[in-house]
Structure 1
Amino acid sequence: MPSQNGPARPLVPLVVRFGRLGDMVLQEPLLHLLHRRWGKPCIVLSRGGWSSELYRGHPDVAETWQLLARNRPLAFSPERWRMIAKLRAHDGPVYVAEDTRGSLKRIRWLLRFARVPRERCVFIRDMGLRTDEHWVDQALRFGRTTPAAYREADYPWRDEDMRTAPRLYLDADDRADADAWLRARGFAEAPLVLLQPGNWHVHRWWERRDSDPKFWPVENWAALLRAMHETLPAANLVLCGAPVESAVCEAIANAAGVAQVKIATRDLPVRRLLGVLERAHGMVSVDTGPAHLAAAMGCPLVVLYGGKYGPDKWGRRSPFGKPIVNLGAPPQPVSAIVPDQAIAAWRSLAV
């Protein structure tokens, strides 16, 4: 262990990650650890317009810096020049948690143009990544590294600073908004079960259903919904997702033929979804970002895995000890999971 003398001077750590929703949720324990080590909440630099909503009100995040335009040449990107100016003004440690080559190349380019000294930076790719290590454990190991410009003994880490399950935070306005939505949709008086059938590239599901390892067939979702209705007849069964996932949700609802099945793909932005998940009876989801939100909010959860990685790498963890059931055996596709398995897993949560 490093010395416990405490930080010589509190500094603001900058964490850079160009990941999708689930990636950004899983890095929350890293933000918590770095806040404790360096004495001030983190700045998060990400790509996309939603990370500010994800981390709004988070005690370990001071600011979110977001790049919205993709792949625009520097000469035509005022946004990138503004980001370079921010990076140049920042004087704390820089933790680059991105591990994909294309995004890492862009990040190195930004740091170089901003003239950020290399000795103030550490890169997760330099740490020795292991395919059998959960991403949160990897991130915590990364958070214990120290850029060469600083003395580790001046910025110690402690065992109690390392929490292994991501946690997200709501305020009174978030909860009031979720309550208002539940009332407006007629969901306030009965148990609420959420289902997340889509992932980020399912918008043309009828073309990809045989090639997408994370696509669970429409008829399987329909069978699960009918079993849910049989188990909890009064429950509202809500198919959720992004607007581009509306078509697959509509196909599932039509196949199920259950009046209690509703669709919410256009009125559940991130903050409202967090508030609804905090209230929900449970969720069944493929391996995608909203399942990470559910676990972080303490919603009982069944996750259907398929494709390259399973729960050993990307498994959800509940900070409140709520049940999480993992199904599937990657690299087999998620379609290898039969409806009876998912039904039994969900019923284990429903009792």
Structure 2
Amino acid sequence: MSLRLRPVPWGTQCRSARTNRHSRNRDPGPAMPPVAPTPARPLIVRCGAFGDMVMLTTLMRVVSARYASPVDVVGSGGWTPPLMAREPTLGHLQMVTSRKTPYLLCPSQWRLVRWLRGRGRGPVYLGDIDPDMRALLARGGVHPDDIVARDPAGENAPVLWPDRWLALGQRDPAHRYPTVEVEVSGLRYPRLVVGDGDRADLAAWLEAAGLHGPLVLLQPGNKRTHKRGKLMTADHPKHWDAGNWAAVAQAALADMPDARVVLCGSPPEHPLLEDIRAAAGGHPQVFNGANDLPIPRLLALIERAHSMVSVDTGPAHAAAALGCPLLVMFGAAPPSKWRPIGPGRIVVLGGDNGADSRVSDIAVDATVDAWRSLSRGNGDGSPPS
């Protein structure tokens, strides 16, 4: 058997020979210290609902400022990409469709694990407490010493979520990474960014729909309004009768005759919003927007609106983040944890009886009076004084 040698280019042979000949007597000098690898960008893990992801922007801003870096995010839900599309602190968004599906049956989990294995070590802020996400992080090679985890022991404490994220973002993992000093008090409010293209799209839609003048938004639904195609029932803690919503719409139009009332919701909520419009007598200035409000347009609409009246749900948090004057009505969820905060005027009703609270306990007159009081709000998420 003959041995075949691969030829080496002549110039390489000459350089090697010269190097070997001249390096025999050369002092190699002191050994160079190993270069520490550059840490991967900070990573935030949070698979949450619409409002959860709005409030997560507080954590993103704090972590981005402390590490002087964009942040990567692991998230879920069709609402997350459009909510995060223009967030300036976002580096990479990695989506996972399910954490509960067995690993072998969930390609998005495969992609997540492959991406985690390729990004290297860096600080990881874990906003999810379920073991399935921890298992995925471990499968992706995330070192436990790199994780700063949300504390499940404090879940019931009366602390607003943005303040929880503010505190979490100031903690360091066991394996320390370089940070800079940051004054975080100015980063407390969640933030959303609306693009010029979205504003232009909204303007064209408003013109086509004949929606001129001040816009008052009503948000009657929430993520449980439609489950498996069924509208929420009257015994849900966030349910408010169609007649009540119609009365608010009529009061707004009585105060502002040139206004338009836009009923906001997702396409499956169209029948619910039609009930409200019918209860308002089919008033031509009351518009059902359920089929026309993809998230980018909804955010632009909220930014432009005169005000919003909403149950405790994701778009209410978007309104707070965008500075839209907001009245939010609570059922069983405690306002001490879930109340939206932002730079605009916010009034909160309900939630006074803990788990027994229901939006249906809130009177129409109190709601209309609270909506009218928005102009006297304090701008810090508290009711008017």
Under a length normalisation based on structure 1, what TM-score does the superposition of the two structures give?
0.89
Report the 3-state secondary structure (helix = DSSP H, G, I; strand = E; otherwise coil) of the residue aligned with 1:313: helix
Aligned to 2:167: 141
Match of 2:123 among 93, 96, 115: 93
1:324 pairs, out of 332, 338, 346, with: 346
The reply on whether 1:119 has 2:145 as its aligned counterpart is yes
Q: Is the 8 A contact 1:168 1:296 kept in 2?
A: yes
CA RMSD of aligned residues (A): 2.1
- Percent identity of paired positions between Structure 1 and Structure 2: 40
Unmatched runs of 5 consecutive residues or more in structure 2: 1-36, 377-385
Note the C-alpha offset of 1:70: 6.2
The answer to whether the aligner puts 1:236 opposite 2:260 as a matched pair is yes
2:79 to 41, 45, 50: 50
Tell me, yes or no, if structure 1 residue 339 matches structure 2 residue 364. Answer: yes
For structure 1, which segment, 68-77 or 323-332, has the greater mean C-alpha deviation from structure 2 after superposition? 68-77
Q: Is the 8 A contact 1:47 1:67 kept in 2?
A: yes
Structure 2 partner of 1:4:
none
Distance 2:263 2:46 in 1: 29
Find out whether 1:287 has 2:312 as its counterpart: yes
CA distance in 1, matches of 2:160, 2:247: 32
Deviation at 1:350, TM superposition (A): 6.3
Q: Is the 8 A contact 2:166 2:184 kept in 1?
A: no
Query: 1:164 deviation in Å?
Result: 1.5
For the Cα contact (< 8 Å) 1:129–1:138, is it kept in 2? Answer: no
What secondary structure is seen at the aligned counterpart in 2 of 1:285?
A: strand
Q: Which one of the candidate residues 194, 198, 202 is aligned to 2:221?
A: 198
Q: CA deviation at 1:69?
A: 4.7
Q: What is the distance in 2 between the residues matched to 1:9 and 1:127? A: 34
Contact 1:29–1:162 at 8 Å: present in 2 too? Answer: no
Q: Report the counterpart of residue 68 of structure 1 in structure 2.
A: 97
Contact 1:127 1:142 in 2 (8 A): no
Shift of 1:197: 0.3
Q: Give the alignment of 1:1-351 within 5 angstroms.
A: 11-69=40-98, 71-90=100-119, 91-99=121-129, 104-125=130-151, 128-129=154-155, 131-150=157-176, 154-160=178-184, 162-187=186-211, 189-203=212-226, 208-257=232-281, 258-310=283-335, 312-319=336-343, 322-328=344-350, 329-331=352-354, 332-349=357-374
- Larger Rg belongs to: 2
1:193 offset after TM fit, Å?
0.7
Shift in Å, 1:88:
1.4
Equivalent-residue separation in structure 2 for 1:268 and 1:211 (angstroms): 27
Whole-Å separation in 1 of the counterparts to 2:324 and 2:131: 37
Residue 276 of structure 2 aligns with an amino acid whose one-letter code is: I
Higher relative contact order (CA 8 A, sep 6+): 1
Opposite residue 348 of structure 2, the aligned amino acid is: N
Instruction: Please state how far the C-alpha of 1:29 moved relative to its aligned partner.
Output: 1.1
| Deviations 1:53-104 (CA, angstroms, capped at 9, x unpaired) | 11112111112111125643221222211110111122221111124xxxx2
Q: Deviation per CA, 1:245-287, whole angstroms, max 9, x where unpaired?
A: 1111111110111221110011111111111111111110000
Distance in 1, matches of 2:314 and 2:175, equals 35
Instruction: Answer yes or no: is the 8 Å Cα contact 2:262–2:286 preserved in 1.
Output: yes
Partners of 1:191 and 1:236 within 8 A in 2? yes
Tell me if the contact between 1:42 and 1:63 (Cα under 8 Å) persists in the aligned partners: yes
CA contact (8 A) 2:226 2:232 kept: no
Cα contact 2:62–2:184 (8 A) shared by 1: no
Q: CA deviation at 1:210?
A: 3.2
C-alpha contact (below 8 Å) 2:71/2:92 kept by paired residues = yes
Ranges in structure 1 where 5+ consecutive residues have no aligned partner: 1-7
Per-residue deviation at 1:212? 0.8
What CA distance in whole angstroms lies between the structure 1 residues aligned with 2:59 and 2:339?
A: 16
Aligned length: 334
Post-superposition offset of 1:183 = 1.2
Aligned AA (1:141): A
Q: Tell me the SS of whatever aligns to 2:206.
A: helix
